[in-house]
Amino acid sequence: MSILLDETTRVLIQGITGRQARLHVSYMQEYGTNVVAGVSPGHGGEIVNDVPVYNSVGEALAHHRIDITVLFIPGIAVKSAGMEAIEAGIPHVHILAEGVPHHDASLIIETATAKGIRVVGPNSQGIISVGKAKIGGTGGPVPSRIYSEGPVGIIARSGGMGGEIANILTRNGIGQSTFVPIGGDFLVGTSFVPLLELFEKDSDTKAVVIFGEAGTGQEEAAARMIKDKQFTKPLIALIVGDSVARLPKGLSFGHTGSIIEHDVGSPAQKRKLLLGAGASVADTLADIPALVRAALRA
């Protein structure tokens, strides 16, 4: 099994006629992703990689059922595209762009939440359910170089570091179920907790690795979830960003979500709370395979 995405999921690509979208749609299709339609205003009637293109989301929905829309849209234009998808009722809106204005991200997330629509991102690399399907740039042109099928879910605030975790697990003979990079922006639609809830219900995921950073209270919320027995599977965490904790208060370095305020967001505090809740905490990337193996044997 997997979460959020598999080979049957019907995917719409907004911005499909752009250069990056054309490139990554081909990679997605080669991996098994069911891309059913694309949207690009003014390009209705065109075909991209055997995918029909429509002028609007509404027009695409008149011809296709859609489960996820992926926005290959620049940050400044995400508000318009995201709100169009939400108003059309697409159940999962996936935002790849970094640098979406906070006001725009807030409006998208608030509106989607009120309508029961899931938003992943902004600043998410994509999703891969290993051996089934992928969206966005996750895995690049040859995902099998990094990802292998198995029982370990991965959630990361950084797409690149989540890929590094998958890679080191694969090199040590440990496969993965689904990897979700949630994005490192200050405002993101889906955090660790709702994804842990999905992994808890996934019978084929036996353990989860999370990659956390300085800033926000997401890892602290995950620790409370474990402590309250709402997530009962083994959780292994790597939390980085100690250098950020030494910066002047309120200063961000790296992702826009890396601001530490009022002692919330400190990597040391995150590690302490996760350990106290019963999670395993890695000191380095190299420690993760042994911790995962021990968790799977337990």
Annotated catalytic residues are 255
Task: Assess contact for 163 and 138: CB atoms under 8 A.
Answer: yes
Task: Assess contact for 124 and 135: CB atoms under 8 A.
Answer: no
Query: SS3 letters for the chain?
Result: CCCCCCCCCEEEEECCCCHHHHHHHHHHHHHCCEEEEEECCCCCCCEECCEEEECCHHHHHCCCCCCEEEECCCHHHHHHHHHHHHHCCCCEEEECCCCCCHHHHHHHHHHHHHCCCEEECCCCCEEEECCCEEEECCCCCCHHHCCCEEEEEEEECCHHHHHHHHHHHHHCCCCEEEEEECCCCCCCCCCHHHHHHHHHHCCCCCEEEEEECCCCCHHHHHHHHHHCCCCCCCEEEEECCHHHHCCCCCCCCCCCCCCCECCECCHHHHHHHHHHHCCEEECCHHHHHHHHHHHHHC
Task: Assess contact for 189 and 217: CB atoms under 8 A.
Answer: no
User: Which value, to the nearest 10 degrees, does the dihedral of the CA atoms of residues 213, 216, 217, 222 take?
Assistant: -40
